[in-house]
Chains A and B, each alone.
Chain A
Amino acid sequence: MSKYVGQNVKRKEDYRLLTGTGIFVADIRLDNMAEAAILRSTYAHAKIKNIDISKAKEYEGVIDVVIASDLEGKVKPFTEFVEFTLPSNLEQEIKPTIKRNPEPMLAKDKVTFVGQAIAIVVANNRYLAEDAVALIKVEYEPLPVLTDPYEAKKEAAPVIHAELNNNIQSHFEVKVGNIESAFRQADYTIKTQLKTPRVSGNPLETRGVVAEYEERSSQLQVWSSTQVPYMVRSYISKLVNLVEDNIRVVAPDVGGGFGPKCAVYPEEIVIPYLAMKHKRPVKWIEDRLEHMQSTRHSRDQVHDVEVAFKSDGTILALKDHFLLDNGAHNSFALCCAYNSAAHLRGMYKIPNYNIVGEIVLTNKTPNVPYRGAGRPEAVFVMDRLIYMIADKLNVDPIEVSRKNFIQPEEMPYETDLFYRDGTHMVLENGDYPEGLKQALNIVGYEQFRQEQIEERTKGRYIGIGVSSYIEGTGIGPHEGAVVRVDSSGHILAYVGSSPHGQSHETTLSQICADEFGVSPDQVTVKAGDTSLLPYGVGTFASRGAVTAGSAVQVASKRLREKFLAIAGEMLEVAPNDLEMKEGKVYPKALPSKFVTLREIALAAKPGPRSKVPEGMEPGASVTHYFIPPSVTFSSGFHVAIVEVDKQTGFVTILKYVVIHDCGRVLNPMVVDGQIQGGVAQGIGGALYEEIIYDENGQLVTGTYMDYLIPTAMEVPVVEMGHQEFLSPRNPIGVKGVGEGGAICPPASIANAVCDAMKPLNIKINSVPISPNRLRDLIQLAEAQ
């Protein structure tokens, strides 16, 4: 009975966002509010010999200046994020080495990356706070700087954190089949190195925290631009030692997260502490310079990979040893690294597989999962290999793909691996050969190949590149929903998953509305507030629709059943003989004899007028926590057509096509928007974005003049097609879609560029493909 699910319902969020009436953290202004600014390290690796804050403290308008020693006994240091630790069966299976490596709130005896917070100034306004920051004198004693993970892992390398003994923070290995014998049977092998650089998620809204403490009732109110308000609440409670229920964390309108806002940062703990200390609201809004330095980065993997295959293109085995350059701290256990290992084979049957992952610490900003979280890196490796195999065998790359696809009749497909949530990694359904066929039909693959030959004779270099992905989405552990009808008859759905652009208010109201037979306008969705439900997780890892969507569906269904039971009492009709539609409940046989949702809600109240059937709790509300049995596997194909200017090395994207399967599409417009946005970020990774440090660990790409993000002018409109294999792993049949668009573009575009330059046999082993780099490759190839 889906009337609204599957429809292009207009986004409820858009009116306020488009009229400038949204409220972001920076929009929150409170009486007597102070503002904070932060002194950050200008050294990548140095001892702190002395910090002189005397001048800053005396500066007019300054309320407080705190350094690490001021927090001792007041704010505990971070522990590692338990939310990311491995389930015990996965730990037993892969027996990883993971050293504890939590971040300090403020650097104390040493700094380990440029941008690390050292001191916080609280002043009457941000201008004065920044003036005072400039007055703090830090005496540094420089230490040797590590920016190359290969150097950092050497035995003789200086150790960044003495307690870890070396800079290899984590190590794990995953094995499937028999790699040695498979390599012996191979006709060919290819050995290569493939790199995905360090990038920054760059949400339009930077981080920001406002905290206000109300002493009368010990209530701490925190607004934070976060993806995970419950996690922020939990760590404030733990580290500042407060009763958890006295803390309310709200994520108001949040201008993007993409992963970098999916864990807790020092500022989210210390700013609330300072608000309590001074009994004054304190605001800290990260500026873009701080954002580039101190909001966690991502990707940064180097894979040394070897593939064994037969002359007909069948891949027999793949072995990979990769490094993840994690920067100075890792609080996320194996998150991205294990994702890369689990997803590297993608939709290909590779029976023998061996991958070793090492997370290495360097003097750079710490890493975090970012849209795709380990999959773009893995896909870049796998899909570049497919093209290299095709080159070696002199066949079209899509023939190699087709040869190795997992077939629809093999579904559900056991990968012989554990997933990160500790369950067996089994792909539930899908038809990959058909997906590729759809994508190639949209671009007119055969026709393009003809055109390509003709254009080459005219000196025009165009190429086509394909890439594919599977993605475990909708990870647990849970997400809850409270669905209730208030005394005015309006339906409310509260969820713990906190949105930052995903359209929760729209899509979740569609799900709820369909259960009650009303319009989505009669449902209000609230999220991003820890006072709504006791437990919540957050929005990341393409999990919103799967987890919160399912919770809303189940809670709505149960409340509907309860309302039918109450209506049955009111109308003296058996619930099975009742119909619920357009806010009314009536006997199927006699629609004119109805009660409204409002009347039922009033009858659900406890007391003498209650019509709640005996044995049923009073109240017009149902809470449900959805616990996914495992992740659901989305999949997709990206096809890029590009033109290369051979003289300048500039790449133009002529066409971009995506076919994807995210299970049931709740709202096509929202899904298309997610894919379009993801592709934009993926194009950034393919052609523009790279965080660069110099040999002293100084961030070279600290502003938007240096760190290039594609704009609307650089991003083509993506042509899309859908496959809709409903997931059996949740009641609404959805799979996650938030990250998918960002996963393939580095691979599809690199493949397309190589395809365009086929006459020169250019190999692209790293991104971004800047015009300078591509032109150098072209020149080198021409010289040979």
Chain B
Amino acid sequence: MKPPKFSYHRPGNYAEALDLLDQYGEDAKIMSGGQSLIPILNMRLSTPKHIIDLSRIDDLKGIRQEGNMIVIGGMTRHVEVENSDLIKKKCPLLFEAIRWVGHTQIRNRGTVGGSIAHADPSAELPCVLTALRGEIVIVSKEEEITVSPEEFFLSFLLTSLEPDQLIKEVRFPIIHESCGYAFEEVARRHGDFALVEAAAVIDVDETGRISEALIALGGANAVPFIPEEVERFLIGKKPDETILKEAAVMQLDDLDPEGDIHGSGEYRRHLSGILLEKALCRAADRAMEGVEI
């Protein structure tokens, strides 16, 4: 388990990184934490000639608020998200989900941009970003563009990211304070990749009817899945148990999870319904707090 020979580059700034990508793009792999890349290299599953390590680029780090968005630099480590008061206050769904990312050691090294770029179908951040209808800001030497998760996540471990591009930042919309939210996940062991996961945000109006519903399921399809019918169905309904139960299983047929030794596709589909129900119930409970009917 030793990687074959490669050249290692550690650009000190943003421009240098883009130059390197421009020069080596096709033959290069970006290292932004290395929590997936290092095992891939060591097992010789990928044999890039150049590794471009972004860990010294301060411009790519940090968490800030910009209007109604929380903007997280691509090289911000998971642990910083986990410890951020801003995230806790303004992006509580992400705050709840980030603890499900691997183990402490992984969160100390892994980065937000790295996780998004790796695009594991059961990773937490793509799921949350998709639920919240966030944005991914991509740069290359030529241009800077902003794409939606739907445009970005193409399939299992595959994104629209071109070889000369990197993720500058990831933008999570701030949800209204009155919203309820919940992130639910099951994994074989603590810290394992999720079998499936569900993220939900629910808001209710003054009559106690659902005014907004944002949902995504992870691990159930090749990319995070938004059950749009469920979202539409919920609008205007009172979030009682029967309704949420019904909603949770409405779109299970649209899920096509891959089976493996940890769980068959059928089992994962079944779990998706259970987790979505739990997430909807918890989000609705939170939304109903303070609403008097």
Partners in one complex: yes
Interface presence of B293 (CB below 8 A): no
Surface stretch bound by A, among B71-79, B107-115, B225-233, B260-268:
B260-268
0/1 string, B251-279, CB within 8 A of A gives 1: 00000000001111001001100100000
0/1 string, B168-188, CB within 8 A of A gives 1: 000000000000000000101
Is there contact, CB below 8 Å, between B263 and A127? no
Residues of A contacting B: mostly: loop
Interface presence of B88 (CB below 8 A): no
Q: How far is the CA of A690 from the CA of B188 in the complex (A)?
A: 13
Interface presence of A131 (CB below 8 A): yes
Within 8 A of B (CB), among A281-331: 287-289
Given A130-B2, A648-B274, A688-B188, CB of A289 within 8 Å of CB of B193: no
Is there contact, CB below 8 Å, between A775 and B44? no
Is there contact, CB below 8 Å, between A692 and B274? no
Interface presence of B191 (CB below 8 A): yes
Is there contact, CB below 8 Å, between A708 and B5? no
Q: How far is the CA of A126 from the CA of B5 in the complex (A)?
A: 12
Q: How far is the CA of A703 from the CA of B271 in the complex (A)?
A: 25
Is there contact, CB below 8 Å, between A710 and B189? yes
Q: How far is the CA of A647 from the CA of B274 in the complex (A)?
A: 8
Is there contact, CB below 8 Å, between B271 and A648? yes
Is there contact, CB below 8 Å, between A688 and B189? yes
Interface centre among B1, B44, B192, B193, by most A CB within 10 Å?
Answer: B1
Is there contact, CB below 8 Å, between B189 and A771? no
Complex contacts, B237 vs chain A, CB 8 Å: none
Is there contact, CB below 8 Å, between B263 and A772? yes
From the candidates A710, A711, A772, name the one contacting B262 in the complex (CB within 8 A). Answer: A772
Q: How far is the CA of A772 from the CA of B188 in the complex (A)?
A: 10
Q: How far is the CA of A360 from the CA of B57 in the complex (A)?
A: 59
Interface size on B, residues (CB 8 A): 22
Interface size on A, residues (CB 8 A): 29
0/1 string, A126-140, CB within 8 A of B gives 1: 110011001000000
Interface presence of B12 (CB below 8 A): no
Complex contacts, B2 vs chain A, CB 8 Å: 126-127, 130
Is there contact, CB below 8 Å, between B191 and A713? yes
Is there contact, CB below 8 Å, between A713 and B274? no
Interface presence of B56 (CB below 8 A): no
Within 8 A of B (CB), among A346-401: none
Q: How far is the CA of A253 from the CA of B33 in the complex (A)?
A: 32
Interface presence of A244 (CB below 8 A): no
Q: How far is the CA of A126 from the CA of B42 in the complex (A)?
A: 12
Interface presence of A695 (CB below 8 A): no
Is there contact, CB below 8 Å, between A701 and B261? yes
Complex contacts, A692 vs chain B, CB 8 Å: 261
Q: How far is the CA of A708 from the CA of B261 in the complex (A)?
A: 11
Within 8 A of A (CB), among B1-48: 1-5, 43-44
Q: How far is the CA of A712 from the CA of B122 in the complex (A)?
A: 23
Task: Report the nearest A residue to B1, measured CB to CB.
Answer: A287
Q: How far is the CA of A688 from the CA of B270 in the complex (A)?
A: 21
Interface presence of B49 (CB below 8 A): no
Rounded to whole Å, the gap between the CB of A664 and the closest CB of chain B is 37
Is there contact, CB below 8 Å, between B190 and A772? no
Rounded to whole Å, the gap between the CB of A61 and the closest CB of chain B is 11
Is there contact, CB below 8 Å, between B189 and A708? yes
Q: How far is the CA of A692 from the CA of B260 in the complex (A)?
A: 12
Task: Report the nearest A residue to B47, measured CB to CB.
Answer: A134
Rounded to whole Å, the gap between the CB of B238 and the closest CB of chain A is 24
Q: How far is the CA of A288 from the CA of B270 in the complex (A)?
A: 34
Given A131-B4, A648-B186, A650-B186, CB of A711 within 8 Å of CB of B191: yes
Complex contacts, A710 vs chain B, CB 8 Å: 189
A-B contact pairs, 17 of them (CB 8 A): A127-B4, A130-B1, A130-B44, A131-B5, A134-B4, A134-B44, A648-B186, A648-B271, A688-B188, A703-B43, A708-B189, A708-B192, A713-B189, A713-B191, A770-B262, A771-B267, A772-B267
Give 6 closest A-B pairs by Cβ, nearest first. Answer: A713-B190, A287-B1, A772-B267, A772-B263, A127-B2, A130-B2
- Measuring CB to CB, which residues of chain B are less than 8 angstroms from any residue of chain A? 1-5, 43-44, 186, 188-193, 261-264, 267, 270-271, 274
- Measuring CB to CB, which residues of chain A are less than 8 angstroms from any residue of chain B? 126-127, 130-131, 134, 287-289, 647-648, 650, 688, 690, 692, 700-701, 703, 705-706, 708, 710-711, 713-714, 770-772, 775-776
